[in-house]
Structure 1
Amino acid sequence: MAEFDVDLFVIGGGSGGVRAARIAAGHGAKVMIAEEYRMGGTCVIRGCVPKKLFVLGSHVHQEIADAAGFGWTIGEVKFDWPTLVANKDKEIARLEAAYTTNVEKSGAEVVKARAEFEGPHTLRLSDGKTVTARHILIATGGAPNHGKPIPGIEHVISSDEAFHLKELPKRVVIQGGGYIALEFAGIFSGYGSDVTVIYRGDNILRGFDEDVRKHVRTELEKRGITIITGCTVEKVDRYGKEFSTHLSNGSSIASELVMFAIGRHPNVANLGLDKAGVAINPANGGIAVDGWSKTSVPHIYGIGDVTHRFNLTPVAIREGHAFADTVFGKRPVQVDYANIPTAVFCQPEVGTVGLTEAEARANFSHVDIYRTDFRPIKATMSGSQSRVLMKLVVDGTTDRVLGCHIVGDCAAETIQALAIAVKMKATKADFDATIALHPTAAEELVTMRTPTARYVRQAAE
């Protein structure tokens, strides 16, 4: 008899877990993957994909408004929220089925059940069965975090519930200033809701380049979104179908929906980690792992948001692939976390890769900044007052491009291509030698010749 039931047991059927299961099975391992909810995880079921579908639909109203400048006369426009939700649900169901099918085609077994540790090599499923595994991968992702309890917290929803609302609220209050908060602010506003964003910090998008933060806030406010910073929600009262959100500045806001998007925490509860001896990282509350995604127990690994390292779907996928190649493919691979591109699908869109200006100035003695802010060609005809921001951060000593930041239409698509150049350590001279593609907004990235700012750190005496 075999010493273990399977070579690999994966807890969690999200993007990272699915990739790990498929690659490990392809290397000849006997694999079982357990998912208690729906295959696809946060990204596919209640995250990146449905959010992007909602974002795309919310653009239509602005496109219609812009059309007049190009000679179009459009009659009465109607929008039906239930139709949007129903069509989104159909697409998500299709993707979920595809995820399940692809895993099964790879040779891995899918189990629709919750899995918890009974010991270092043993897992108990919610159907009562137990499974032993030579290696175990924890890929349970993260969950919304509402922060400290406040009166009326039971009236607050997260982004999870926002995808299943029965109707579009006329007025929305969103607490948070990061990816999810701003993306949903744009979504609701685009479909016609009056939106107020509450954020405790001095400005939205903490951790992003300062020019990006300022530019995005200005553009969101142009679109009619109210942003209140240096403030938090202290209480939420309900009056029938309406809510009154009380703020720390003493004011209150009436709305039909209150949503918190203040962060996510690793999904580590009730996994039985203590029975397996798996340690938690005290710094972030996630599964503690090393550079190989190995936990404190040599045969147990953790990837994706549950480790709380870089909470991005493509990172989880890369970690899952690297794990499977390392453990089952006899090809040790460590994930390189430098220069990970990221996007915020707010309106306008943000795309960024590499260092911010502040990070570069803290780590390099000479830093050159190339920055431009302009109305795109479409706005000159539509009459829109929106503006595009493009910024390059350059090592003044080596001429290497350290960071690139874009705010505007198709920023994410543009930054994906630029991330290749930044990853390859392209120089500003390489950018300058590239012939511009005209007329595009992105041509500005290869035509900025004169630094808008130059910083030289003074040597310590």
Structure 2
Amino acid sequence: MSTFDYDLFVIGGGSGGVRAGRVAAETGARVALAEEFRMGGTCVIRGCVPKKLMVFASKFGPAVGEARDFGWEMGDGTFDWLAFRPKLHAELSRLENIYRTNLARPGTDIFDARAVIRDPHTVELSNGRSYTAKHILVATGGRPFIPDLPGAELGITSNEIFNLDHLPEKILIVGGGYIACEFACILNGLGVEVTQWHRGPQILRGFDDEVRGHIAEMMMAQGIDLRVGVSPEALEKAEGRVRALGTNEHKVMVDEVLWATGRAPNTEGIGLEDAGVELGRNREIVVDAYSQTSVPSIYAVGDVTDRIALTPVAIREGAAFVETVFKGNPTRPDHELVASAVFTQPEYGCVGLTEEEARAQEPVDVYVASFRPMQKSFIDRDEKALFKLIVSQQTQRVLGCHIVADGAGEMIQIAGVAVKMGATKSDFDAAVAVHPTMAEEIVLMKTPTRST
């Protein structure tokens, strides 16, 4: 009989931790999970889910004007944040309850407490109790990074944006990553006057350069005051509002400042270093291909490992951990060719290499189609869709697929299957177009735009 209280103790109730805990418990293992905040983690409570619901809400404002141009008679309408917010919170509570129920069903013990690792097999909870476990899984996710500058405390982060008592009339968003750009589009669509500062030369660093420029143009065309090459230097209270002072004499007076300057692995104060767990330069937990840390009994999955910070990836890592440790089937989570979406307006979906990455490794053909979709051209809107394929000249395999269009997140999921399977350009060409759709462009691009 085991001398441990549990076979597995999971720290963190986000998507990766809950999946690992539930599946391990279904094997008959004795499992416990501790979560100090709310079950569901960043994605469900203060990330993907509430953000996407706000994306939905934000599209109705611009749609009113488009509807009139299509012939509908209707007024401008106004967005009522105080009517939307309780429905948002009710949905998050519903999802949290599902997570909790599914985790408890196979017999997992759930502790609503903060957990700290005391040694390779011991976890101490904030309620004063301690438990031993044969294996410990850290799935504590990430947290927003706030820059160290005067008045930084006057700003909020994506953690707080969903709980505002009222929407600001004017907001400054600091950052150029996908979170910053998504919220710039969301709040602009809800009628907030948006200024965005980004210290780099272009938004969405790490994504395809051509796409980055395209999205920046679309955002500015919608009325977002996007300024690149600008860093904040200080925030200060002024006349009941916040004054932001930036480089190159930039300044703006706003009602709210949103820090969207990146995220950091959530490794502080949970006993990792005392237990001997190696941390990386960004204080992420260093793991091997099977999510095992430098301490054999301790594993880690999800954003806390700073591999690919996406919810579905954390879920796959959690499932692979159970296969490896509890099912005797060593399984590496697959981090190759992971599709993703950025919910700007229009959306951006991508899978595989950027043009820059592909050119650096081999000669490629690049196919690009940029056009006004039928729905937009009919009412004389300037919004353009962009479809892009990056193809190996030697093998003709599609190395990257990039889509900027309404519904790009939905399209890239399907395209991701083809790219993952190793589809070639001729495979795309052989598919008959579905007409009239935007997505048909992905199989109609016959001549390379450029070859490098």
Helix, strand or coil at the partner of 2:156: coil
Match of 2:122 in 1: 122
Matched, 1:276 2:261: no
Distance 2:141 2:410 in 1: 26
Partner of 2:238: 239
Give SS of 2:248's match: coil
Alpha carbons of structure 1 residues 210 and 92: separation in structure 2 relative to 1, 3 Å: same
Question: Which residue is equivalent to 1:254?
Answer: 253
Matched, 1:406 2:403: yes
List per-residue Cα deviations over 1:28-72 (Å, max 9, x = no partner): 211001001000000000000000000110000111111022210
Q: Number of aligned pairs?
A: 452
Shift of 1:277: 1.2
Partner of 1:287: 285
Partner of 1:42: 42
2:140 partner amino acid: T
Task: Quote the residue 2:330 is aligned against.
Answer: 332
**Distance apart, 1:374 and its partner CA:** 0.2
The answer on whether the counterparts of 1:121 and 1:276 sit within 8 Å (CA) in structure 2 is no
Alignment of 1:72-87 (within 5 A): 72-87=72-87
Matched to 1:22, the amino acid is: R
Instruction: Name the stretch that deviates more: 74-83 or 415-424.
Output: 74-83
Structure-2 separation of matches of 1:332 and 1:118: 28
Which amino acid in the other structure matches residue 419 of structure 1? G
Distance 2:274 2:377 in 1: 64
Give the alignment partner of residue 382 of structure 1, picking from 363, 371, 379.
379
Matches within 5 A, 1:52-451: 52-147=52-147, 149-282=148-281, 284-364=282-362, 366-451=363-448
Task: Give the deviation of 1:76 after TM superposition.
Answer: 4.9
Q: Distance in 2 between matches of 1:383 and 1:25?
A: 57
CA distance in 1, matches of 2:138, 2:114: 12
- Asked if the contact 1:368–1:451 (Cα under 8 Å) also holds between the matched residues in 2, the reply is yes
State the distance in 1 between where 2:108 and 2:331 align.
22
Task: Output the CA distance in 1 between the equivalents of 2:402 and 2:304.
Answer: 28
Distance apart, 1:382 and its partner CA: 2.7
Q: Check conservation: 1:67, 1:382, Cα contact below 8 A.
A: no
CA distance in 1, matches of 2:152, 2:206: 27
Deviations 1:356-403 (CA, angstroms, capped at 9, x unpaired): 001000011x20000010000100223221000110000011000000
Letter in 2 for 1:446: V
Partners of 2:106 and 2:48 lie apart in 1 by 24
Question: How far is the alpha carbon of 1:321 from its aligned partner?
Answer: 0.5
Residue 120 of structure 1 contacts residue 275 of structure 1 at CA under 8 Å; is this kept in 2? no
Q: When the two structures are superposed, what TM-score results if normalisation uses the length of structure 1?
A: 0.97
Provide the secondary structure at the position in 1 that maps to 2:391. Answer: strand
CA distance in 1, matches of 2:278, 2:377: 57
Question: 1:400-439 CA distances to partner (integer Å, 9 max, x unpaired)?
Answer: 0000001110001000110000000000000000001111
**2-side partners of 1:160 and 1:240: how far apart?**
26
Counterparts of 2:93 and 2:229, CA distance in 1: 40
SS of residue matched to 1:438 = coil
Q: Which amino acid aligns with 1:258?
A: V
Distance in 1 between the 2:145 and 2:78 partners? 35
SS of match in other structure, 1:160: coil
8 A Cα contact 1:304 1:313, kept in partner: yes
One-letter amino acid of the structure 2 residue matched with residue 44 of structure 1: V
Contact 1:243/1:256 (CA < 8 Å) preserved in 2?
A: yes
Identity, % of aligned pairs? 50
Residue 275 of structure 1 aligns to a residue whose secondary structure is coil
The aligned amino acid for 2:417 is I
- Say which SS state the counterpart of residue 119 (structure 2) adopts: coil
2: CA distance, partners of 1:129 / 1:436: 62
Change (3 A) 1:233 1:427: same
Conservation of the 8 A alpha-carbon contact between 2:230 and 2:250: no
Which runs of at least 4 in structure 1 moved beyond 6 Å after TM superposition? none
Is this contact kept in 2: 1:389–1:408, CA < 8 A?
yes
CA distance in 1, matches of 2:195, 2:273: 42
2:418, 2:111 → 1: CA distance?
Answer: 41
TM-superposed CA distance for 1:108, in Å, is 1.2
Q: Give 1:18's aligned residue.
A: 18
**Equivalent-residue separation in structure 2 for 1:82 and 1:384 (angstroms):** 31
Taking the aligned partners of 1:159 and 1:273, their CA distance within structure 2 comes to: 26
Q: In structure 2, what is the equivalent of residue 27 of structure 1?
A: 27
Q: Is the Cα–Cα contact under 8 Å of residues 32 and 111 in structure 2 kept in the other structure?
A: yes
Q: Which amino acid aligns with 1:286?
A: E
**Which SS does the other structure have where 1:68 is aligned?**
helix
Q: Which amino acid aligns with 1:435?
A: V
Equivalent-residue separation in structure 1 for 2:242 and 2:371 (angstroms): 40
- Alpha-carbon deviation of 1:78? 2.4
- The one-letter amino acid paired with 2:195 is T
